[in-house]
C-alpha cells in the first residue's frame, strides 16, 4: 500500500514538473512578443495565482485600449482582473521591483475623455473585478452615518444600497455609472457642489495602494499627506481600494424647476443669489439653449413636447437663451412646506415671465436622469461615439466676458457643435485647498467661481476635428485675453510647463508627493503629467 502511494506521489511530482515547464515556456515564448515595456517580467515574478489573472484576449485588450471619449487608442500589454486587494498589491510591488518597472493604470468605468485610464504597453487593472470591495453602511457615535465602498464600485450602486437604509451621500456627479475611485481621483462635481462641496470634500477615510505597493489607510488625521494628495490627485499617488463616504438622511422626492433667461447677466446674478441662501435649493445648474443645443438633450428630457417647442422658439428668436435649473428635496409629508419655501426662494428672480417649468420626481429618478437618456441613445447607436468634451473652472470676474467671447462669438455664431453647454457657480469655501484638485485662481473678494462644461458629441472624424479645433481655439483665446481657466479632467496639456501652470503654487507639493508615493512613476501614465514621452 505504501509502495503504491509513493509511486502515485512520484507521478504527481513528475506531472507537476511538466506543467511548470509548460507554464514557463508559455510565459517566455508565447507572451514575450507583447513585451514592449518589459511586461513579460510579470510572468517571472508574480505567483501563479496572480499571473493567471493577466489577460491578453482580444476583447479585454480592445476594451481597455480606449475610454468614453473615444479619442485615444492605447492598447495595454495585459489586462489584470484582481479578485482581492492583495492581488493589486502584489502586482504593483512586482512592477516596483522590476527593472525597468511596467506602467499600471486602474480602470473603473473608464469615463475619462482623453485616455487617462489607458496605459500603452502596460497593465490596466479592472477594478470592477474586485470581490472584496463591496458597499457597507455603518454608523458610529463620532462619525454618524457613513458607508465603506470599494474603489471599483459604481455610484449608482452606492445610491441603491444606501437608499435601502433611508440614507444617501450628499454630493454627486450628473452621471452615476462612474466608479468611486475614478471620481475621487478627479473631484466629482454636480449641482450639489455649491452646497456640499465636490465628492472629495465628503470623504472620511481611504485605503490606498501606493506606487511602491504599500497598502495604507489614510484620513485627515492619519497619513494625512497621502489622503489629501490622492483626493483629486489624478491617480498619481495611489489606487483607491476603499473610501469612507459621508451619508445623510435621504429625501424621497424632488421639486425640479427650470427657468428661462434671455440675458446672461441676469441669469448669473440669479444663480449666485440662489447659492447664497441659507435654506435655499439643494441643486443649482445652468445651461445654454440654442439651435443645435435644444431645450431637451441627453442629460434629461425635462420638457414636454409643447414646452420644448416654446423654449426652442424663443432660442431661435434670440440665438441663445439660458436655462437655470433648480431642485429642492422633500418628503411626501412636506409638500406644502416645500412649495412655500420655493415661492419664497424665487421672489426677486428675474427669469422671463411665463417661462418657468416644474416637474416632480423621485429622488433616485432625478439623480439617475442621464441613464434614461443614455439607454435611448444606445438603442440608436449614438452613445458609444466620440466625446471631445472640454471642462474647466473660471473666475467669476471673467464669466461675462467669457459669455460674449466664447458662448456668443464662437459657439452660438459659428453653430458647429450641439452641446449641451453647462455653466453654473460654486462656492469656493466648500473646496479644501489641501487636496490635489485645483480650481480657478481667486480674485480679490470673490467667493464664487464657475464651472463650464462644453459637452458635444461627434459621429464621425470630420465632426471630431471641427470640435477639437474649436476647443483649442477657445483655450488659446482664453490665454490671449487673460481669462485664467483651470481645466477639469484635463487632457490638453502636453508639457511639464503646462502642468506647472495648471497646479500653480501647488505644483511643488504635487511633485514632492509623486516622488514620495510613486517615485518610479508607475501609476496612471495616461494623464501625461510626469510621463511626457509616454
Residues taking part in catalysis: 111, 174, 285
Residues 300 and 247: beta-carbon distance below 8 Å = no
Closest CA to 426 of 455, 395, 405, 387: 395
Concatenating the DSSP letter of every residue in 336-372 gives HHHHHHHHHHTTT--PPTT-EEEEEEEHHHHHTHHHH
Residues 154 and 368: beta-carbon distance below 8 Å = no
309: Cβ contacts below 8 Å, ≥ 6 apart:
none
Concatenating the DSSP letter of every residue in 246-257 gives E-EEPPSEEEEE
Residues 181 and 128: beta-carbon distance below 8 Å = no
What residues are paired with 24 via a beta bridge?
Answer: none
CA triple 402-407-413, angle to 5 deg: 135
Q: What is the rounded distance in angstroms from the CA atom of residue 511 to the CA atom of residue 521?
A: 11
Q: Strands of 238-246's sheet, edge to edge?
A: 135-140, 144-150, 238-246, 203-210, 215-219
Q: How far is CA 332 from CA 196, 281, 365, in A?
A: 24, 17, 15
Q: What is the rounded distance in angstroms from the CA atom of residue 407 to the CA atom of residue 421?
A: 9
Retrieve residue 328's grid coordinates.
429642492
Give the DSSP letter of residue 151. T
Q: What is the rounded distance in angstroms from the CA atom of residue 21 to the CA atom of residue 291?
A: 66
Q: What are phi and psi of 337, to 5 degrees?
A: -65, -40
Sign of CA dihedral 334, 176, 82, 105: negative
Retrieve residue 87's grid coordinates.
492581488
Residues 108 and 130: beta-carbon distance below 8 Å = no
Q: What is the maximum alpha-carbon separation in the chain?
A: 98
Retrieve residue 106's grid coordinates.
486602474
Give the DSSP letter of residue 9. H
Q: What is the rounded distance in angstroms from the CA atom of residue 198 to the CA atom of residue 183?
A: 10
235: Cβ contacts below 8 Å, ≥ 6 apart:
105, 106, 116, 185, 523, 524, 527
Amino acid at each position: 500500500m505504501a509502495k503504491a502511494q509513493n509511486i502515485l506521489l512520484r507521478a504527481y511530482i513528475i506531472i507537476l514538473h511538466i506543467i511548470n515547464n509548460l507554464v514557463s515556456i508559455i510565459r517566455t515564448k508565447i507572451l514575450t512578443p507583447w513585451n514592449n515595456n518589459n511586461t513579460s517580467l510579470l510572468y517571472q515574478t508574480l505567483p501563479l495565482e496572480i499571473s493567471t489573472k493577466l489577460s491578453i484576449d482580444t476583447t479585454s485588450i480592445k476594451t481597455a485600449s480606449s475610454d468614453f471619449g473615444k479619442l485615444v487608442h492605447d492598447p495595454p500589454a495585459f489586462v489584470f482582473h484582481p479578485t482581492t486587494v492583495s492581488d493589486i498589491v502584489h502586482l504593483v510591488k512586482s512592477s516596483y521591483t522590476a527593472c525597468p518597472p511596467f506602467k499600471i493604470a486602474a480602470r473603473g468605468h473608464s469615463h475619462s475623455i482623453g485616455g487617462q485610464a489607458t496605459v500603452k504597453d502596460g497593465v490596466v487593472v479592472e477594478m470592477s473585478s474586485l470581490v472584496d470591495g463591496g458597499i457597507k453602511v455603518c454608523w458610529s457615535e463620532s462619525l454618524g452615518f457613513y458607508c465603506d465602498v470599494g474603489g471599483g464600485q459604481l455610484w449608482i450602486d452606492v445610491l441603491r444600497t444606501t437608499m435601502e437604509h433611508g440614507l444617501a451621500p450628499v454630493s454627486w456627479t450628473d452621471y452615476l455609472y462612474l466608479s468611486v475611485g475614478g471620481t475621487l481621483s478627479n473631484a466629482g462635481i454636480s449641482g450639489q457642489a455649491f452646497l456640499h462641496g465636490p465628492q472629495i470634500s465628503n470623504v472620511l477615510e481611504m485605503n490606498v495602494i501606493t506606487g511602491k505597493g504599500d497598502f495604507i489607510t489614510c484620513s485627515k488625521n492619519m497619513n494625512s499627506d497621502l489622503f489629501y494628495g490622492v483626493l483629486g490627485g489624478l491617480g498619481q499617488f495611489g489606487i483607491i481600494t476603499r473610501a469612507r463616504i459621508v451619508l445623510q438622511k435621504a429625501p424621497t422626492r424632488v421639486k425640479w424647476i427650470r427657468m428661462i433667461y434671455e440675458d446672461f447677466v441676469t441669469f448669473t446674478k440669479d444663480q449666485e443669489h440662489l447659492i447664497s441662501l441659507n435654506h435655499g435649493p439643494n441643486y443649482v445648474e445652468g445651461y445654454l439653449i440654442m439651435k443645435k443645443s435644444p431645450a431637451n438633450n441627453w442629460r434629461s428630457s425635462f420638457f414636454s413636447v409643447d414646452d420644448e417647442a416654446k423654449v426652442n422658439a424663443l432660442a431661435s428668436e434670440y440665438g441663445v437663451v439660458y436655462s437655470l435649473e433648480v431642485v429642492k428635496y422633500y418628503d411626501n409629508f412636506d409638500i406644502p412646506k416645500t412649495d412655500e419655501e420655493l415661492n419664497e426662494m424665487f421672489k426677486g428672480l428675474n427669469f422671463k415671465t411665463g417661462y418657468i417649468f416644474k416637474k416632480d420626481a423621485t429622488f433616485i429618478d432625478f439623480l439617475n436622469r442621464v441613464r434614461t437618456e443614455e439607454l435611448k441613445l444606445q438603442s440608436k447607436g449614438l452613445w458609444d461615439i466620440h466625446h471631445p468634451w472640454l471642462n474647466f473652472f473660471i473666475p467669476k470676474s471673467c464669466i461675462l466676458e467669457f459669455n460674449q467671447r466664447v458662448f456668443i462669438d464662437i459657439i452660438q455664431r459659428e453653430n458647429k457643435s450641439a452641446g449641451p453647454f453647462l455653466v453654473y457657480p460654486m462656492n469656493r469655501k466648500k473646496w479644501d485647498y489641501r487636496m490635489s484638485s485645483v480650481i480657478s485662481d481667486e480674485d480679490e473678494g470673490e467667493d464664487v467661481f464657475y464651472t463650464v462644461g462644453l459637452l458635444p458629441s461627434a459621429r464621425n472624424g470630420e465632426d471630431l476635428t471641427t470640435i477639437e479645433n474649436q476647443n483649442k481655439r477657445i483655450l488659446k483665446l482664453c490665454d490671449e485675453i487673460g481669462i485664467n481657466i483651470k481645466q477639469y479632467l484635463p487632457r490638453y496639456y502636453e508639457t511639464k510647463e503646462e502642468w506647472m501652470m495648471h497646479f500653480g503654487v501647488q505644483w511643488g507639493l504635487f511633485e514632492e508627493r509623486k516622488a514620495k508615493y510613486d517615485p518610479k512613476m508607475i501609476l496612471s501614465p495616461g494623464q501625461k503629467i510626469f510621463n511626457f514621452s509616454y
